[in-house]
Chain A
Amino acid sequence: MVSAQATLLAKLLREVWLARAQLFAIAIVVAVGVMVLMIMTTAKQSLTNAQQTFYNEHRFADVFLELTRAPRNLLTQVQEMPGVAVAEARIRSAARVEVSGFADPIQAQLVSVPEQQTQLLNTLHLQRGMLPTNSRQVVVAQPFAEAHKLQLHDSITAILNGRRTELEIVGIAISPEYIYQIGPADIMPDYQRYGVLWLREDALAAALDMDGAFNSLLIQLEAQADSATLKLRLDQVFENYGGRGAYTREEQISHRFLSEELKQLGTNAVFLPLVFLGTSAFLFNIFMQRQIHTQQQIIAIMKAFGYRPATIFLHYLGFSSLVVLVGLILGLLLSHWLSATMVELYSLYFSFIDLNVDTNWRSLAIAVLVTFAAGFVGTWRAIYKAIRVPPAQAMRPPNPPNFHQSRINHFIATMRLNQAWRIILRNLVRHPLRSTLSITGVALAGGLLLFGSYQFQAISTMLDRNYRVEQQMDVIVHFSQVTDAQALASLAALPGVNYVEGMRSVPVRLHSGTTVYSTSVSAFSPDSKLRQLASMRSLPDAGLVLTDHLAQQLSLELDQQVRVEFIGERRMTQAIPLVAITNEAIGVGAYMALPELNRILLESDVLSGAWLLIDATEKEALYARLNEMPQIAGYSHIREAEEKLRSYMDDTVLTAMSIIFVLAGSLTFAMVYNNARIALAERERELSTLRVLGYSYAEVAIILFGELLLVVLIAIPLGWLVGFLFAAGMTELMSSELFRIPFVVSRQLFGLSALGVLTAAAIAVMFMLRRLQRIDLVAALKAE
């Protein structure tokens, strides 16, 4: 028996070697599936672990509240509220920062750390140095320090309320609150132009006139506390202190970005591997069917010799086990190497204490199980029938494939086709399941191509709309205080300024039923040249305009009255009709005509900021002058932000697109190549006959590949549909308050998807053409 096993093994290995190209193509598909699964789950696991560690060790708060100003003694009242475990008050403020040698404007978030006691919540993780011990010292966020190559004891300048303060860097740190650091109006992190700074509380209190007061509240909940009730109570208590509405982690920017990323990783980790492993199971099944079909007599002989069906089955299972093993090893090697790169990539965008590559062993186990099961099922399905045939019957030569008069075959006969296309069509409909699955597989690959490239096109469209149409200004300036419109004249006089427009932004809370939403109303002139609202010709003279996402969240419809609570310097509540809805892609906003806003607030012609068009060659001179002006709280050069974003996109798109092409390409290649191999094996005799009858190679190739061409041609539009649906699904899934990806699928994307599929198919066909030429006519006709 031992030698029988050895013989079977030798047979297996020899047959595997004969079919090596085909089996390797299947192994590649397995490998890609395993690789994607492992990379995605490993990235997810690693990020989740790092997030949990950071949150726990540095006590990330559960509930947050920003307000205008409240006395410190209110904190005791908060601490006594049910559900509150720890509450901490602090001071937070936006500011401008200057780093010597860097001319562009820098926006910063200043956050206080307590003077005496230790930090309770959102505690800093110092990577170097120490916490500030006097009001001239500062801790800077690690990515900001790195972007500017700042060292301990370097100094930077903060401009707060018009006062310049020189600060010494004593520490470099990260915080669970700022794992993802992004400026308030940014789409992407820009560590050079946005940073977080931690100062002692007394320093901020003095600069902002906040002695004995606070404007930011952090709360850690007790286990099983009801955050909704707490939020309501907090809002009541801080109503008169300019409370902007309490919110939970879900609305905290950094947490939110991170969760979105994790969510998407989770989706990809299921979907992509499923496509690839499913495809490999299918390819395997048709391979095995063919293998076993040609070996019916061998199986019969083995049975006649007394081999048990289980032994025979195990023998044939060897094929799939080998393929799965090779695919697994290849996939694991690739993922081992790429996971580290992927995690490293994430560490560029998320600052964690330590981000380790945590391999998700559970998903590995799942991958092993799923792929082996796929091979098992593929083999079983193929061999079941063969084992059940009695040996005597199986040893007779098989009858010709059973084509018979069916309605569809009759229909094909009546069609005005040449015989070649009759052969192609009849073979296609003879194996409906195989044909359907082939079409599905190629369609998925095409869909993947469309969907993958769609993401980049959508983002690019979003940038175009945001920066080319909606926001045409070069520089946005924010005043420290509401200022008379005459300030525009002095801005216009600055070097390099070509054009100026005033604007005003007021923090509000929008009420609709019981829903409250904190945002700000942006007001500008209805004939503004620099600001346009998406899908609208101009801003109406009266009434409120909302972003569609916001209107939906508040379940507001056109012409409804919206209760607008102004919570800036002037507090009042006013019902204003919703007169238009705009579908802006980035952020959620409320808009009004500037004169109307000022009228409602019972104010004269005042502004909170301005938009400038500038001559870029004079920007340094302009920055220098702006930096000197105390009435300017901050400014940003959005044209430069755009350029930075676009160059980043250009870098990323190429890499990501190549990966998608490789993924989709390998899927299509494996599908077409395997089908062609099987078709050739099944029909070698038929094709040789045609050659004998005087058909040329080209004519015979058309018959062999016509079926595949049809599969691909049917699959291409289906792929478009699949990709289109995925794109729509993702657009829906990804739409959040931060941004909504516009759903635009251009003709190029359809072309790209088709081109990718056709290219991969053409490569597979080229491999097969060589095989076709090698067929020995005489030999093929002899054997039965």
Chain B
Amino acid sequence: MLRAEALSKVYHMGEVEIHALRGVSLELVSGELVVLLGASGSGKSTLLNIMGGLDTPTSGQLFYGDTALHQASDRELTRFRRDHVGFVFQFYNLIPSLTARENVAMVTDIARNPMRPEEALERVGLSGRMDHFPAQLSGGEQQRVAIARAVAKRPEILLCDEPTGALDSNTGGLVLDVLQQINQELGTTTAVITHNAIIADMANRVIRLSDGKISDIHTNTTQRPARELQW
């Protein structure tokens, strides 16, 4: 459903050229859970951001269905993100002035076929803390609100950039469990970035990036439940 062909991304930092991606081709299959593995600086975030319409490739092509995203305008990319993509980041990025429920409503207000904010929060196990502000929630709880916010509009694609990076192992496991459940129950195509190889066991496919290129793609025959992962 999301198809990348020979994506390259070059950043210019003054005199220096940084090749963050060097010809990455990849297709996300509907309903699968993909884990992107790789060392820091290998280009994972760059790839995810381009696939989510946050950034544009220097060269190469990106299609969502028949829509060519590599030549889309800012307005079209905004539309794409609004209608089809949910994001989860390492640092949650909740709106501090809104309660958990209102943070989710921020998305359901502009979505075409959303679930109720309460339902989204129930799915991540936060029915009891819907009226709390971010400052009153723990890191894991904040990240679960962020996930509820990302899935509440029933996106086709859910992109998560190191969702457990700022969390301890127990809380992180809880968050991954939520992601896995959503992938299975709603069938949302999900990509999760991590540099933690153990997490890869929960995926359908594991894609390894190094130095801006895909170095290995591995398909798991069985997925381990995220609950059982320990690191």
B79 touches A693 (CB 8 A): no
B82-107, CB < 8 A from A: 82-83, 85, 87, 89, 91, 93-99, 102-103, 105-107
B55 touches A685 (CB 8 A): no
B96 touches A777 (CB 8 A): no
B133 contacts partner chain A, Cβ-Cβ < 8 Å: yes
B106 touches A685 (CB 8 A): no
A413 contacts partner chain B, Cβ-Cβ < 8 Å: yes
What residues on B are CB-neighbors of A692 within 8 Å? 52, 54, 81, 87, 93
B134 touches A694 (CB 8 A): no
Closest to A403 in B: B133
| Cβ contact of B96, chosen from A400, A419, A690, A693, cutoff 8 A | A400
B97 touches A427 (CB 8 A): yes
B78 contacts partner chain A, Cβ-Cβ < 8 Å: yes
The docked-state distance in angstroms from the alpha carbon of A446 to that of B78 is 39
B96 touches A422 (CB 8 A): no
B49 contacts partner chain A, Cβ-Cβ < 8 Å: yes
The docked-state distance in angstroms from the alpha carbon of A403 to that of B136 is 8
Known contacts A403-B97, A404-B133; is-contact A694 B82 (Cβ 8 Å): yes
The docked-state distance in angstroms from the alpha carbon of A152 to that of B161 is 94
The docked-state distance in angstroms from the alpha carbon of A699 to that of B131 is 24
A418-436, CB < 8 A from B: 418-419, 422-423, 426-427, 430
B110 contacts partner chain A, Cβ-Cβ < 8 Å: yes
B110 touches A694 (CB 8 A): yes
A413 touches B99 (CB 8 A): yes
What residues on B are CB-neighbors of A777 within 8 Å? 54-55
B149 contacts partner chain A, Cβ-Cβ < 8 Å: yes
How many residues on chain A are close to B (CB under 8 Å)? 33
What residues on B are CB-neighbors of A263 within 8 Å? none
| Cβ contact of B98, chosen from A423, A430, A691, A699, cutoff 8 A | A423
B109 touches A413 (CB 8 A): no
The docked-state distance in angstroms from the alpha carbon of A692 to that of B150 is 10
A778 contacts partner chain B, Cβ-Cβ < 8 Å: yes
A402 contacts partner chain B, Cβ-Cβ < 8 Å: yes
B29 contacts partner chain A, Cβ-Cβ < 8 Å: no
B133 touches A696 (CB 8 A): no
Nearest CB on B from A647, distance (A): 55
Closest to B55 in A: A778
A422 touches B82 (CB 8 A): no
Nearest CB on A from B67, distance (A): 15
The docked-state distance in angstroms from the alpha carbon of A782 to that of B93 is 10
- Encode contact with B along A767-784: 1 for CB under 8 Å, 0 otherwise: 000000000011001101
By CB atoms of chain B within 10 A, which of A400, A402, A426, A427 has the most? Answer: A400
How many residues on chain B are close to A (CB under 8 Å)? 37
Known contacts A419-B102, A422-B102, A696-B75; is-contact A689 B95 (Cβ 8 Å): yes
Closest to B86 in A: A693
Nearest CB on A from B130, distance (A): 10
Known contacts A404-B133, A693-B87; is-contact A419 B98 (Cβ 8 Å): yes
The docked-state distance in angstroms from the alpha carbon of A430 to that of B133 is 13
B75 touches A423 (CB 8 A): no
| Cβ contact of A422, chosen from B98, B110, B135, B142, cutoff 8 A | B98
The docked-state distance in angstroms from the alpha carbon of A430 to that of B135 is 14
A686 contacts partner chain B, Cβ-Cβ < 8 Å: yes
B97 touches A430 (CB 8 A): yes
What residues on B are CB-neighbors of A695 within 8 Å? 78, 82, 110
A405 contacts partner chain B, Cβ-Cβ < 8 Å: yes
The docked-state distance in angstroms from the alpha carbon of A532 to that of B208 is 97
B135 touches A693 (CB 8 A): no
The docked-state distance in angstroms from the alpha carbon of A782 to that of B91 is 8
Closest to A776 in B: B55
A401 contacts partner chain B, Cβ-Cβ < 8 Å: yes
A100 contacts partner chain B, Cβ-Cβ < 8 Å: no
The docked-state distance in angstroms from the alpha carbon of A526 to that of B1 is 97
The docked-state distance in angstroms from the alpha carbon of A426 to that of B135 is 14
The docked-state distance in angstroms from the alpha carbon of A781 to that of B162 is 13
A73-130, CB < 8 A from B: none
A400 touches B131 (CB 8 A): no
Closest to B93 in A: A689
What residues on B are CB-neighbors of A693 within 8 Å? 81-82, 87, 106-107, 149
B135 touches A400 (CB 8 A): yes
| Cβ contact of A685, chosen from B45, B75, B93, B134, cutoff 8 A | B93
The docked-state distance in angstroms from the alpha carbon of A778 to that of B55 is 8
What residues on B are CB-neighbors of A404 within 8 Å? 133, 135-136
The contact sample of 19 A-B pairs, CB cut-off 8 A, is: A400-B94, A400-B96, A400-B142, A401-B96, A403-B97, A404-B135, A419-B95, A423-B97, A427-B97, A430-B97, A690-B95, A691-B78, A692-B52, A693-B81, A693-B149, A694-B79, A694-B83, A694-B85, A781-B93
Going nearest first, the 8 A-B pairs with the smallest beta carbon separation are A694-B82, A426-B97, A403-B133, A689-B93, A694-B81, A419-B106, A401-B96, A400-B96
Knowing that A403-B97, A403-B134, A693-B149 are A-B contacts, what are 19 other residue pairs whose CB atoms are under 8 Å apart, sorted by A's residue number? A400-B94, A400-B142, A401-B135, A403-B96, A403-B135, A404-B133, A413-B99, A419-B103, A419-B109, A422-B98, A423-B98, A685-B93, A690-B95, A690-B106, A692-B52, A777-B54, A778-B54, A781-B93, A784-B91
- Residue numbers of B with Cβ under 8 A of A are 45, 49, 52, 54-55, 75, 78-79, 81-83, 85, 87, 89, 91, 93-99, 102-103, 105-107, 109-110, 131-136, 142, 149
